[in-house]
A and B are shown apart, each in its own frame.
Chain A
Amino acid sequence: MSSSIETLVNREYAYGFVTDVETDTLPPGLSEAVVRLISGKKEEPAWLLEWRLRAYKRWLTMKEPHWPNVKYGPLDYQSQSYYSAPRSVKPLQSLDDVDPELLRTYEKLGIPLAEQKFLSGVAVDAIFDSVSVGTTMKEELKAHGIIFCSLGEAVREHPELVQKYLGSVVPHSDNFFAALNAAVFSDGSFVYVPKGVRCPMELSTYFRINSEGTGQFERTLIVADEGSYVSYLEGCTAPKRSTSQLHAAVVELVALKDATIKYSTVQNWYAGDKEGQGGIYNFVTKRGKCVGANSKISWTQVETGSAITWKYPSVILQGDNSTGEFYSVAVVNNRQQADTGTKMIHIGRNTKSNIVSKGISAGHGQNSYRGQVKVMPKAVGARNYTQCDSMLVGNECGAHTFPYIEVGNNTAQVEHEASTSKIGEDQIFYLKQRGLSAEQAVSMIVSGFCKEVFKELPMEFALEAQQLLGITLEGSVG
């Protein structure tokens, strides 16, 4: 590796601090009693407890999957705690009541929760370990009929909506980690956009894992009713710890007729140290369903953190003329491993999907793209375009591509393209002789490589993503 490429990857993880708050944490272990206890703490109705228990029983019969192209030691589901909440959080308080310690934490993370300071145009639901500590801009959203709150609150305030859609896209029995999530999910965000409403601001959830020895199991549910539009952002960080923590979330999106949901993630969980000690195991099930005709779901993700990332934001294209999109940048450095991609299931007529995946591997990182494009026999006129490019920085990393293309209808047009390359010495040389430093040169080439994805991100996030990418790759080049 050239000296110029090598100096680019070693900044410290800036979000690795721990907030010292008194917490109410369940002792480690998982049993039916724990599931009942979590449900009880959240004062849930009987149907939800029953759903959790069904999921738990199902989970007991399932085996942890090992087909992803990642390696990790055995997970002990009994040694971690499934519920941890800052003691100061009481349900339904106003933002003024939020523990100042927590507010300071979010400020440090660059997410000020106090309304007046807040970046106008974005509403935030802040999730700290297992609970939501506050949601901003609620009143203004209410004026439009938009519901944006924690899932726990939604269960109390809008049970009919939650009951109708919860588990409708990712059933409790979907897969091992989704079943675990359904059994013990603690909190998450809930969004409902009524008919014909265009959500006037970006909605956002900020996830923070703080406590040690806990897993985070949040569940997000977004429902866009007919003709509505919503753009949702998700960000996440965690303290630096030498033990690994499990994050098994579920995200369900439901787009009814003519609705559009845009879901963006900037994932920056703690990635573990250089030797691969600690870090978050990010095993997430994200899936959207284009239920109605002409609906659209678009996933954009920038994956820079986590020791292991294992997720496939998918779209079920059920309505005629519906569209699914997936834009992804996944960066692995040091000992990080990522097995990520998407699934596009074409069921309706004239459904379209577009996949752009950019993988960057540095250090000892292993990056896999795994994607499925499935055209069902009835999906007349389906169209898919897939592009997945990988970039390798250094000779100890790996880049892998596993696309599955299954076409059962001859009117479908499916294209898949993939390439793997490295940053050329000649490219760096060219930029250097134009007066850029090696580091700038590499970051320019990398951001050019990722441009197609970044342009899909909302503006504030695009900047953050750009910077994050620089941080993640720092020290891998030089």
Chain B
Amino acid sequence: MIESYLKGFEQLASNGGSAAPDWARSLRLSAITRFEALGFPTTKNEDWHFTSVAPIAEREFDLLAPPAHRVTAAQLEPLTFGATDWHTLVFVNGRYDASLSSTKGLPDGVTLVPLTRAYEELPLLVEQYLGKVAAYEGQTFTALNTAFLDDGAVLHVGREVEVARPIHLLFVSDPSAGAGTSQPHNLIVLDRSAKATVIESYAGLGDGAYFTNVVTEVVVGDGATLTHLKLQRESAQAYHVGTVDVRQARDSHLVQFSFATGAALSRTNIYTELRGEGCGATLNGLYLGDGEQHIDHQTRIEHVEPNCYSREHYKGILDGSAHGVFNGKVFVHPAAQKTDGKQTNNTLLLSEKAQIDTKPQLEIFADDVKCTHGATVGRLDETSLFYMKSRGIDARTARELLTYAFAADVLETIEQVEVREALEAATLQRYTEH
């Protein structure tokens, strides 16, 4: 329902978002025009071939209002990994909640503020990057998000500053969220040789059929290292479309992990452009689906300059009638000699009705490169099961252990201890009977 968004846009333009600077308002205007022109993608669009967004396109979502009842810290507890000393910004229904957030102890040279304050505190930075990294010209959902540019997190880490503790951006939709939508827009900028870990969490506190459409723009400066985790644990009825778009400069590193388990329909886009020599990008992910869930991942790694490497490993476990989609693109530009790229996607189908469509893609225009990709789909390996049984492990335990081990293999790559252990524990619990 494009019309309802157009109506919502007019409301936003006339009140809520009117505090934004002129350039932001004109950005919104051109984005809504683009959104209207693009419309929602159909399955004829190659990028959406296996994912129908009809459930989103056919519903009317109003922009979410602030929650009726205050969300309490206790409600957020299951989502915060027991960590008390992280720098946290909490957004409820897409709006910043200062009472739940804490940024104390941030090192000098680091700014972590909601977008509304960034307009005042980092005016040049936001004007320079907002809407520029994640191009919306060809992307309906990015255009839609940019049109409703109003709130979100802005992080700036200055030159050579290392943020020791993780920064947690927590986006929750409260039980009253119903059929509303939130459109958070984040910006992460790491200056030269800076280092930080950012965790983006999306979760539902109720079971509403709300729609979260998020865009995160990331700029990693020369020699900087960003560890970025995106954890999607939305409510079972929800819809989630999330795009992380990264630009990497010379000798920078991105270590990204995407964990997706929630939402009835979710689509995660992880894009990175290696725009300098000597960059590294590691993109890993795990998707766990059951019931009628539809979980889609699209990744794109653009090797623009020589001597960069990329590593990608996505795994999925699908049960019930869940439908998984993986589309991984590795694009090597003509100048990107000595590129070393590796991409793997493994999916485990636990039930007869689960299905997966996987499309690993290589597009290579340089000759001196080493690129491989691989994909496997199947159920648990009979020989492994037999081996374990021959060692005295009963069939059920063997099955559970192998399922867990399949997922743990990629969870182990998460460096952040609290997150890794929590996700491992949750996965173990999910696939063992108790």
Contacts and interface: CB of A to CB of B under 8 A. Distances in A.
Interface string A379-422: 00000000000101111111111111111111111111111111
Given A410-B349, A410-B351, A402 B361 contact: yes
Nearest to B365: A398
Bin the interface of chain A by size.
35 or more
Contacts of A410: 349-352, 354, 378-379
A416 B375 contact: yes
Contact of A397 (B349, B352, B362, B367): B367
Given A407-B355, A418-B362, A420-B362, A395 B377 contact: no
Nearest to A407: B377
B417 to A, nearest CB: 34
Nearest to A361: B367
B370 interface: yes
Contact of B375 (A393, A399, A405, A419): A405
Contacts of B366: 392, 395
B46 A413 contact: no
A420 B374 contact: no
A67 B46 CA distance: 9
Contacts of A463: none
A415 B378 CA distance: 9
B165 interface: no
Nearest to A69: B363
A337 to B, nearest CB: 13
A413 B366 CA distance: 33
A306 B53 CA distance: 40
A406 B354 CA distance: 11
Contact of A407 (B349, B361, B370): B349
Given A395-B337, A401-B362, A414 B377 contact: yes
B295 to A, nearest CB: 15
Given A406-B357, A410-B352, A401 B373 contact: yes
B234 to A, nearest CB: 25
Contacts of B375: 403, 405, 414-416
Contact of A420 (B364, B376, B379): B364
B356 interface: yes
Contacts of A401: 360-363, 373
A400 B366 CA distance: 11
A92 interface: no
Main secondary structure on chain B at its contact with chain A? Answer: strand
Contacts of B378: 410, 412-414
Nearest to B378: A413
Contacts of B356: 405-407
Interface in B132-173: none
A421 B373 CA distance: 12
Given A396-B334, A401-B361, A418-B372, A413 B367 contact: no
A409 B379 CA distance: 9
Interface in B177-195: none
A395 B353 contact: no
A190 B358 CA distance: 38
A412 B25 CA distance: 52
Interface in A222-254: none
B171 to A, nearest CB: 33
Contact of B368 (A395, A414, A416): A395
A420 B365 CA distance: 11
Contacts of B46: 67
Contact of A395 (B334, B359, B360, B363): B334
Interface string B46-69: 100010000000000000000000
Interface in B338-396: 347, 349-379
Contacts of B357: 404-407
Contacts of A413: 376-379
A417 B372 contact: yes
Contacts of B371: 419-421
Nearest to A380: B352
Contact of A405 (B352, B359, B362, B370): B359
A62 to B, nearest CB: 15
Contact of A392 (B355, B367, B373): B367
Contacts of A91: none
Contact of B362 (A1, A399, A408): A399
Contact of B369 (A408, A409, A422): A422
Contacts of B376: 413-416
Nearest to B355: A408
Contact of A400 (B337, B358, B362): B362
Nearest to A396: B334
Nearest to A405: B358
A200 interface: no
A334 to B, nearest CB: 16
A171 interface: no
Nearest to B359: A404
A395 B367 contact: yes
A417 B362 CA distance: 11
Given A393-B367, A406-B357, 10 more contacts: A1-B367, A377-B352, A395-B367, A401-B361, A403-B375, A405-B375, A415-B375, A416-B373, A420-B372, A422-B369
16 contacts: A377-B352, A392-B364, A397-B367, A398-B364, A401-B361, A401-B373, A403-B360, A405-B377, A407-B356, A412-B349, A416-B360, A416-B373, A418-B360, A419-B372, A420-B369, A420-B372
Interface of A: 1, 67, 377, 390, 392-422
Interface of B: 46, 50, 334, 337, 347, 349-379
Closest 8 CB pairs of A and B: A410-B349, A392-B367, A413-B378, A401-B362, A408-B355, A414-B377, A416-B375, A419-B372
